[in-house]
Amino acid sequence: MTISAPTKTENATVTASKLVFKPKSRGYFPKGLCLLASLLIIIILAVVLVNIAIGGAGMITWDFLSSPPENGMESGGIFPAIFGTVALVILMTVAVIPVGVFTAIYLQEYTRPDAWLTRLIRLAVNNLAAVPSIVFGLFGLGFFIGFIGGGIDSIFYTSEGPVWGQPAIIWASLTLAILTLPVVIVSTEEALRTIPRELKEASYALGATRLQTIWRVILPQAMPGVLTGAILAISRGAGEVAPIMFTGAAYYLPYLPSALNDQFMELGYHIYVMATQSPDVEATKPILYGTVLVLLMLTFALNFVAILIRSRLRLRRTNA
């Protein structure tokens, strides 16, 4: 008696009969967890902002915004801290944007992803993003103030006291520029990856060089991404305290910084000092809340300006 082997059709029929079709899950549980976490974040943010607004709204007056601190910071205003914060953020942005953009262009346009130098640079950027901010402050103290500033003094100011080898706004801004450099590099690289390859090939086909293509085609298309990196850098740099404690921020100054080697007052450091070093914390609490509110408003204003410029560039690129 001969027994024939089952055919492919019979095997498929048997296999299909063994399958148990379950109703498709709608994913309510993971969706609910994500929604709950998002609502929790929104509620926490709202509580913090409302608390700051209630505690500091009464302090926002013209005298508070335009006068220096007085009576051991228990009265007066915060204008020197506002001026120092704006100057610090502007100098940091001017220093970090060109370096971050050029690095991203080099990694994206001039090197191969598997090249050893490319891997080394990416490793350095990733490690730089993971370094605690206090370490950047110690680095700025040793490198910028001790090495560069001290070297300038030893060459050009041998018979005088420290001129550049001391805490100053230029060293604080450069320290913050290194701190925010990974943010600018990553955001610019992401913007460069979104540019269609056809645009580059069309530019090369018209006889443009690589430099002309980068300057006339790639950078204008990637400018919204570059401004996104600037927004993130401003948001982080404006609120950092640890890096500038060692490199330029002062407890109190009766004058505004007029040179790059001057010390300065800063809103974040001013908040830290009033919260931890004030002899009467309860007396300075209204000023503390007002300073926090001004810092938030100033950060939002700087971000809003950058977002507005980015939106106009995107609209212009879309219309073009």
| Tens digit of each residue's pLDDT (9 = 90 or more) over 150-188 | 899 888 887 677 889 899 999 999 999 999 999 999 989
Q: What is the mean pLDDT of the chain?
A: 84
Q: How many domains does the chain have?
A: 1
Residue 278 belongs to domain with CATH number = 1.10.3720.10
Asked if residue 139 is part of any domain, the answer here is yes
Over the Cα atoms of the chain, what is R_g? 28
Residues 133/240, Cβ–Cβ less than 8 Å:
yes
CA 187 – CA 225 distance, rounded (Å): 6
| Tens digit of each residue's pLDDT (9 = 90 or more) over 192-233 | 888 888 888 888 888 888 888 888 888 888 888 888 888 888
**pLDDT over 90 (residue 304):** no
Joined together, the tokens standing for residue 74 give: 């228990």
pLDDT band at 314 (very low <50, low <70, confident <90, very high): confident
Asked if residue 290 is part of any domain, the answer here is yes
Asked if residue 39 is part of any domain, the answer here is no
**pLDDT over 90 (residue 283):** no
Residues of the chain with pLDDT > 70, as a percent, come to: 90
Query: For residue 164, with 0-12 CB atoms within 10 Å meaning exposed, 13-18 middle and 19 or more buried, which class applies?
Result: buried
Asked if residue 133 is part of any domain, the answer here is yes
Which pLDDT does position 47 carry in this prediction?
Answer: 94
Asked if residue 101 is part of any domain, the answer here is yes
Domain assignment of residue 239, given as a range: 73-319
pLDDT band at 307 (very low <50, low <70, confident <90, very high): confident
| Tens digit of each residue's pLDDT (9 = 90 or more) over 64-118 | 888 888 876 777 888 999 999 999 999 999 999 999 999 999 998 888 878 888 8
Q: What are phi and psi of 264, to 5 degrees?
A: -155, 160
Which pLDDT does position 118 carry in this prediction?
Answer: 87
Tell me the HSE value of 280 on the side-chain side, using a 13 A CA sphere.
10
Tell me the HSE value of 75 on the side-chain side, using a 13 A CA sphere.
2
Asked if residue 27 is part of any domain, the answer here is no
CA 225 – CA 227 distance, rounded (Å): 5
Asked if residue 28 is part of any domain, the answer here is no
Asked if residue 22 is part of any domain, the answer here is no
Indicate the range of 21-30, 233-242, 248-257 predicted with least confidence: 21-30
